[in-house]
């Protein structure tokens, strides 16, 4: 990934390196929230009155083109700018009364955008979702004392919540699979995975509690990541399928589908996020799910082979496509 120092050293098309531009970039990235061009001009001129308004405007446009800033329109008659360097893509709730914006990210909305674009053979490069209405504070008159936007801690909190929910769902699935499986070796695999899920769950919960210690208000802040069901829904569905009755091969195949879907989910969004603690959590979890997937595939193939030997000579099981 390109570093910030590399980005600020880039030359605008037809231009040259500028210490003024580097200063403007650094000031912009030190600010939180959504700044208008005039807001940034005021901050820059307070520090260095020699930098002109035109220079700030040109640098803002360059930052948008370089991927450092993102231009947003909140219906105020002017554009605002937010960080896009090392920040996850997100959407906005916009209050028409106080004009504040509140950020969120939803895998369901992203999936719908991708589905619509794919159906129309449309190559989407950017998606903007802005929901206009009235915030709680303006609607009720009660002060919420909640910070606008998101922080790395808030992002990490929600990433851990999703990972913990998935881990709990996986623990239930493997515990149920171990109870239902007759094959001794397959049962042991499910028991080991259940125990591993239990250990990982404890680790994630401890990590979550440590995160809360870093910000006493973190637990009460609004949700940023909306991943309805997320990967834990796969394991919940798999556990229901087990309860309806399956044989040992089918139990392993269900586990394979769950782990494959979970790995893809966490890898997909981990890769999309910019560098952050939340990204690290997702990619670590994706790697764990990949290891579980590989273990289940190996065990499925071994079970098919063992069962093939138990039948008359010449008849061997062949792994299905789902286990390849």
Euclidean distance between CA atoms 302 and 277, whole angstroms: 38
Q: Helical H runs in 1-86? A: 4-9, 19-30, 37-47, 53-66
Q: Do domains 19-83 and 86-149 have the same CATH topology?
A: no
The two beta strands, 101-106 and 79-83, are: unpaired
Domain spanning 86-149: which CATH class is it, in words? alpha beta
Task: Give, in words, the CATH class of 19-83.
Answer: mainly alpha
> What CA–CA distance (Å, rounded) separates 94 from 101?
4
Percentages of the chain per state (helix, strand, coil), in multiples of 5: 60, 10, 30
| Cα–Cα dist 122/137, whole Å | 39
- In this prediction, residue 1 carries a pLDDT of 43
Query: What residue spans define the domains of the chain?
Result: 19-83, 86-149, 152-323
Sheet arrangement for strand 69-73: 35-36, 79-83, 69-73
Q: Which residues of 212-245 are buried (b: 16+ CB within 10 A; e: fewer)?
A: eeeeeebeebeebbebeebbbbbbbbbbebbeee
The domain 152-323 belongs to what CATH superfamily?
Ferritin, core subunit, four-helix bundle (1.20.1260.10)
Phi (first) and psi of residue 122, to 5 degrees: -105, 130
| Per-position b or e across 83-119, b if 16+ CB within 10 A of its CB | bbbbbbebbbbbbeeeebbbbbbbbeebeebeeeeee
Q: Phi and psi for 101 in degrees, rounded to 5?
A: -120, 150
Per-residue pLDDT of the chain (324 residues; tens, 9 = 90+): 444 555 545 555 444 556 888 888 888 887 777 788 888 988 888 888 888 889 888 998 888 888 778 787 777 777 888 777 555 567 888 888 888 888 888 878 877 888 899 999 998 766 778 888 998 889 988 876 555 555 788 889 999 999 999 999 999 999 999 998 888 888 999 999 999 999 999 999 999 999 999 988 888 888 888 887 777 888 999 999 998 888 899 999 999 999 999 999 999 888 877 777 888 999 999 999 999 999 999 999 998 988 877 665 554 445 555 565
> pLDDT at position 202, please?
96
pLDDT at 18: 64
């Amino acid at each position: 990934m390109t570093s910030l120092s590399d980005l600020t050293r880039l030359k605008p098309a037809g231009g040259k390196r500028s210490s003024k531009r580097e200063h403007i970039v650094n000031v912009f990235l030190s600010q939180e929230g959504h700044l208008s061009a005039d807001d940034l001009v005021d901050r820059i001129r307070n520090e260095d009155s020699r930098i002109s308004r035109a220079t700030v405007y040109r640098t803002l446009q360059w930052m948008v083109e370089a991927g450092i800033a993102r231009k947003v329109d909140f219906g105020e008659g002017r554009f605002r700018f937010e960080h896009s360097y090392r920040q996850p893509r997100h959407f906005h709730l916009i209050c028409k009364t106080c004009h504040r914006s509140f950020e969120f990210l939803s895998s369901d909305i992203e999936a719908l955008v991708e589905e619509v674009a794919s159906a129309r053979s449309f190559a989407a490069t950017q998606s903007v979702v802005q929901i206009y209405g009235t915030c709680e504070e303006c609607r009720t008159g009660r002060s919420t004392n909640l910070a606008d936007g998101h922080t790395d801690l808030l992002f990490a909190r929600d990433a851990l919540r999703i990972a913990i929910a998935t881990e709990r769902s996986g623990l239930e699935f493997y515990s149920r699979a171990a109870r239902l499986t007759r094959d001794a070796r397959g049962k042991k695999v499910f028991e080991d995975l259940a125990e591993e899920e239990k250990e990982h769950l404890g680790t994630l919960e401890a990590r979550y509690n440590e995160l809360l210690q870093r910000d006493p208000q973190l637990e009460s802040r609004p949700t940023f990541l909306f991943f309805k069901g997320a990967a834990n829904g796969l394991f919940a569905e798999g556990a229901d399928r087990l309860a309806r009755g399956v044989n040992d091969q089918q139990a392993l195949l269900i586990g394979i589908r769950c782990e494959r879907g979970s790995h893809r989910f966490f890898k997909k969004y981990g890769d999309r996020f910019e560098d952050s603690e939340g990204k690290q959590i997702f990619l670590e979890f994706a790697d764990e799910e990949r290891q579980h997937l590989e273990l289940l595939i190996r065990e499925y193939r071994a079970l098919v082979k063992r069962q093939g030997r138990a039948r008359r000579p010449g008849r061997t099981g062949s792994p299905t496509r789902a286990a390849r």
